[in-house]
Structure 1
Amino acid sequence: MKHYYNIFTFTLLLTLCTQLSFSQEDNSNRWSFEAGLSAVDLYPVGENTPQGDYFDEFFNLNDHYNVGYYLGATRNFTSNLSLSARGTVNEISKWGDLGKADESVLVDNLKYYGLDAMVNYSFGQGKLQPFIAVGGGYTWIEEGPFNTFSKTSNSLVGAGTANGSVGVKYWFSDKFGVNLQTTYKHSFEDYLPKHWNHNLGLVYKLNKEEPEVLETEKVTITPSRWSFEAGLSAVDVYPVGENLPQGDYFDEYFNLNDHYNIGYYVGVTRDLTNNLSITAKGTVNELSKWGDLGKADESVLVDNLKYYGLDGMVNYSFGQGKLQPFIAVGGGYTWIEEGQYNTFSSTSNSLVGAGTVNGSIGVKYWFNNKVGVNLQTTYKHSFEDYLPKHWNHNLGLVYKIGNGKEKVSNDRDGDTVPNELDLCPDTFGLVSLGGCPDTDGDGVTDKDDLCPEVKGLVEFGGCPDTDGDGFPDNKDNCPKVKGTDNGCPVKVVEPAPVAVVVPAVVGQRKVYFNYDSSKLDETAKSILDDIAKNIKADKSNFSISIQGHADSRGSDNYNYNLSLVRAQAIKDYLTSKNIANSLISISGKGETEPVAPNNTEAGRAANRRVELTIDITAK
């Protein structure tokens, strides 16, 4: 079995793989999915009864349409170009008619399965989007009375198909639309009938919000998109999967000496977008090498048969640099003079033509804005047995009218912000910050950041506030200690002691705290260390009474508990210095015994204290 569909499968896979390899990362999801009804019609395909002529009773749903289901997925590559994959499940009960009262010829619900891939090109970007598509696939139909292939009854038989399609999509919203499409599927095997497949389905697009893209290139000229080319054409009828003197697919594919027939071609191309174009090409050649019979690989020669070809192709190129690989699909009409291995009529040496479907890959290299070279290979599949399938290789010089669309960079630092909008046009930066960098990532641009290498706060010009006291570190005299005096705790000035005579055995010391805190600072610890040292040095008996106090901010109950916690903190510190716990008593006074007014910061700082009264009795 000759699987011609391999050529189409190869072309479609190349389309997908090459596009993915050349495409850049895309933030938007370009996938859409669809499902709906599929109607298979085997009648208007240009065959003998019970099938009919092309397009005969094309819209006769009642007599010829077999309704099933389909599922599909589509990947958009550009705003116009996409690739679709589709699966179809159906049952065939209507095969056609015999012309007798237009009664349908029925078959016994033959199973139908199809897997197809199509390259689509849509016109327009509005709600209504007509499109065309070409591709191929593989279809299975259960055998019946009009498609018997084997002795096994009801076996499922499949073959490759070449597909052409037209349709229209209508989008109700950004996500939902409807697809109406008709596809002609041409089978490469006689046992699988040619047929039409009509689809009506609901489409769902997985679209995400695309980020705003700023234009960073300015178009300075928009010249003609036409280019012309001419060069050598090499026709090879050998490696096309036929019997001797032709050979298997790709056999001796590069054997120029034995199989290539050299002629000439001219072509013209019209660019539609940066990637999509259409080409018309004419070829003139003479065929003297037909293949070989395997005997010492000697070429089988024919008598310089005339060859003419007219072809049209839709091209999709990858990249915009000097080197531009591309693929192409299309068709045309080819004439070959009859000879020993392609006899059609009794008239000797008559010129016989037939339509072809073409698939092609190639590469263009541009030496400059005007001149380039094109290397391309095209497989041309004939729809008629009398015209052989063949390869047509081209090597030609390309000349472009005008310089092409010339663009001038409008983004010197390459950060996607145009120069006229870029606040830092010569330094790579962030779009969100007007094109300026932010080294420490604190949301303040380096040019405005007072601490550009340390992450800080916007309200402090990009500088941090480590202790959280409202003074940024660059202006905080005590950056690691919370305070209100230029970032430092307020210094408490002890009132001048009143000249009162007290017994030597009595002593009193004070320890101060920060607002709403019971934590001992270094000053407090120094005072307590001194007390513990003096008591241990003195061998007298002693007792220590500790009273905690607070300022007036907060409730009475809260301030009482806070003053008690402060007294306990002093006791815990002294016991850690080996002062006996039993000799220390504590109490809390809350805000009830202020030593200064509570309406100033200095007064409140004086009231946030613990008083230690030490009684020492001689032994």
Structure 2
Amino acid sequence: MKNLSRLFFVAVLLASFSTSNAQDKNNPWAITIGANAVDPYPVGEDAPQGDYFDEFFNVSDHWNILPSLSTISVSRYLSDGFTFTAKGSLNKIDKFGTNTDPMTGEETTNDVDDLTYYGVDGRISYSLMNLINSNTIDPYIGVGGGYTWLDEIGAGTLNGTLGFKFWFSDNLGLDLQSTYKHAFEDYLPKHFQHSVGLTFKFGGTDTDGDGIYDQDDACPEEAGLEIFNGCPDSDNDGIQDSKDDCPNTAGLAEFNGCPDADGDGVMDKDDNCPNVAGLKTLAGCPDADGDGVADGDDNCPNEAGPAANSGCPWPDTDGDGVLDKDDKCPEEAGTVANNGCPEVKPTPEVMKTLNEYSRSILFNSGKATFQKQTDQVLQSMVAIFKEYPEANFALEGHTDSDGSKSMNQALSDRRANAVRDYLIANGISSERLTAKGFGEENPIATNKTRSGKKENRRVEVKLKN
């Protein structure tokens, strides 16, 4: 049995040390120093010991406490929450269970001579911190083995541990634990060992000194910020340098860290006018007159004009509404339909309009003089004749059938010439106009009704070849 216990102890230590150099996260090493208490009472044995966990917290009667520095341990984080710990402890045993007076039934502490107690143990622990989602309270469970000497006689033990750490900071914590040690030799009693101590973590590497350990630092050789996993943001614009197209100049996230000084939505590096708000279509430059030509290239920045004319409007020298660039007669007023040149002959539509005017001319009864309200109609005819300075016209007078033919012939002739005289007096060349009366020969309506006679009393305008 003795050899078996020693073999088991050696096997546990070898297995533990074989994994103690596994890869680790930050601060893989820890040292804990503190005090311990040994309690051989609540271990399920007959008197002077008691049942399992009986009077487990009876400190005054059962716990053997060495209040000075009496335990020290060194731990190495393995991975995935597992840690290996090697622990050494010493104590003095002067309480070993309880005596019961058979007469009175009174229980008293079973005192023993101060027995020396030494223990060397190894343990694999698993942290439950992530399971309870805490950053400060760190409960753990552990199993392992060791060797314990009581009054200089030793034996191997199989150990089970329950404890928790309370972390004051990333490197300093308070460790409380209870370990049950099951002995493999009869001369070493089973017992509980409780301990309390301060734990100091160390060993983390921070190459760039930015406060973020290399294990968690995406840029371990370049000082950076925690929000960027240790990577830098040189211009402090909230965009880490590796994702910043302008890492040395503060900018906007929408432009991958590049600036837009004038706020026109065009990055400075692409903005031809970086200090003046402008348009994206003009590479960030303004266009005050909205003609599509940037002000810097616009010879008329406050007056809209085409790019082909450097941003200035095309002139219209003759004022006919046709720009000089499109006007085939730029110094002579014309019409849009004739590319800025005067129309030589009026269109049928124009002739229709002329005749609508001429037929509405009102003469005084039986005379060749105009009624006053006819003046506006005649002026409208003058304007049309002036639009076609190269065209010649014939003015034809007509009457109804009232009166004699000779009288009607003479009246129609005088009225046609009265219209001709008015046009000449208002600026129309006499050479362009002829006048002739046709009397009652060419009616356009019946002469048997008043309305028909009114239609037959007219002046017509015809275009001469």
Structures share fold, TM-score greater than 0.5: no
Larger Rg: 2
Normalising to structure 2: TM-score of the pair?
A: 0.40
Normalised TM-score (structure 1): 0.32
- Structure with the bigger percentage of helix: 2
